[in-house]
Amino acid sequence: MKHEQKKCPRCQTGFECKVGSITLCQCSTVSLREDERQYLRDNYSDCLCAACMVALQKEYQNRNFLKRLKGIISMFR
Protein backbone atom coordinates (compact mmCIF):
# COMPACT_ATOMS: atom_id res chain seq x y z
CA MET A 1 0.00 0.00 0.00
CA LYS A 2 1.29 3.46 -0.96
CA HIS A 3 1.40 5.94 1.90
CA GLU A 4 1.23 9.70 1.70
CA GLN A 5 4.37 11.80 2.10
CA LYS A 6 3.62 14.78 4.35
CA LYS A 7 5.43 17.74 5.80
CA CYS A 8 4.73 18.64 9.43
CA PRO A 9 2.98 22.04 9.47
CA ARG A 10 4.76 22.94 12.73
CA CYS A 11 8.43 22.03 12.10
CA GLN A 12 8.43 21.26 8.34
CA THR A 13 9.92 17.77 8.90
CA GLY A 14 8.93 15.25 6.25
CA PHE A 15 7.26 12.00 7.28
CA GLU A 16 5.15 9.20 5.86
CA CYS A 17 1.45 9.26 6.81
CA LYS A 18 0.02 5.74 6.99
CA VAL A 19 -3.63 6.57 7.48
CA GLY A 20 -4.51 3.33 5.65
CA SER A 21 -2.45 1.39 8.24
CA ILE A 22 -2.91 3.66 11.25
CA THR A 23 -1.35 1.20 13.71
CA LEU A 24 1.90 1.43 11.69
CA CYS A 25 1.83 5.22 11.43
CA GLN A 26 4.36 7.30 13.38
CA CYS A 27 1.52 9.17 15.11
CA SER A 28 0.31 5.98 16.79
CA THR A 29 3.43 6.07 18.97
CA VAL A 30 2.05 9.13 20.81
CA SER A 31 -0.68 8.48 23.36
CA LEU A 32 -3.01 11.47 23.69
CA ARG A 33 -6.07 12.03 25.84
CA GLU A 34 -9.16 13.40 24.11
CA ASP A 35 -8.59 16.95 25.44
CA GLU A 36 -5.01 16.85 24.14
CA ARG A 37 -6.20 15.65 20.72
CA GLN A 38 -8.72 18.51 20.67
CA TYR A 39 -5.92 20.99 21.45
CA LEU A 40 -3.98 19.71 18.42
CA ARG A 41 -7.11 19.86 16.22
CA ASP A 42 -7.82 23.41 17.41
CA ASN A 43 -4.35 24.54 16.36
CA TYR A 44 -3.52 22.39 13.30
CA SER A 45 -5.69 21.07 10.51
CA ASP A 46 -3.24 18.51 9.15
CA CYS A 47 -1.08 15.67 10.46
CA LEU A 48 1.88 16.48 12.69
CA CYS A 49 5.09 14.53 13.15
CA ALA A 50 5.35 12.51 16.36
CA ALA A 51 7.96 14.86 17.86
CA CYS A 52 5.68 17.87 17.44
CA MET A 53 2.73 15.93 18.83
CA VAL A 54 4.75 15.24 22.00
CA ALA A 55 5.94 18.87 22.20
CA LEU A 56 2.37 20.19 21.82
CA GLN A 57 1.11 17.68 24.37
CA LYS A 58 3.64 19.05 26.87
CA GLU A 59 2.71 22.64 25.93
CA TYR A 60 -0.96 21.88 26.58
CA GLN A 61 -0.21 20.18 29.89
CA ASN A 62 1.99 23.11 30.99
CA ARG A 63 -0.73 25.63 30.11
CA ASN A 64 -3.29 23.68 32.12
CA PHE A 65 -0.90 23.38 35.05
CA LEU A 66 -0.26 27.13 35.07
CA LYS A 67 -4.01 27.82 34.87
CA ARG A 68 -4.65 25.58 37.88
CA LEU A 69 -1.72 27.08 39.77
CA LYS A 70 -3.00 30.62 39.17
CA GLY A 71 -6.40 29.53 40.46
CA ILE A 72 -4.86 28.12 43.64
CA ILE A 73 -2.72 31.21 44.19
CA SER A 74 -5.70 33.52 43.72
CA MET A 75 -7.52 31.68 46.54
CA PHE A 76 -4.86 32.90 48.99
CA ARG A 77 -4.93 36.56 47.99
pLDDT digit string, tens, across residues 30-76: 999 999 999 999 999 999 999 999 999 999 999 999 998 988 888 88
Domain borders along the chain are 4-75
User: What is the per-residue pLDDT for 74?
Assistant: 84
Residue 14 near residue 7, CB atoms below 8 Å: yes
Beta bridge partners, 10, equal none
Q: Which residues of 9-37 are buried (b: 16+ CB within 10 A; e: fewer)?
A: ebeeeebebbeeeeeebbbeebebeeebe
pTM over the 0.75 mark: yes
**Predicted confidence (pLDDT) at residue 28 exceeds the cutoff of 60:** yes
**Predicted confidence (pLDDT) at residue 77 exceeds the cutoff of 80:** no
Q: Which residues of 53-77 are buried (b: 16+ CB within 10 A; e: fewer)?
A: beebbeebeeeeeeeeeeeeeeeee
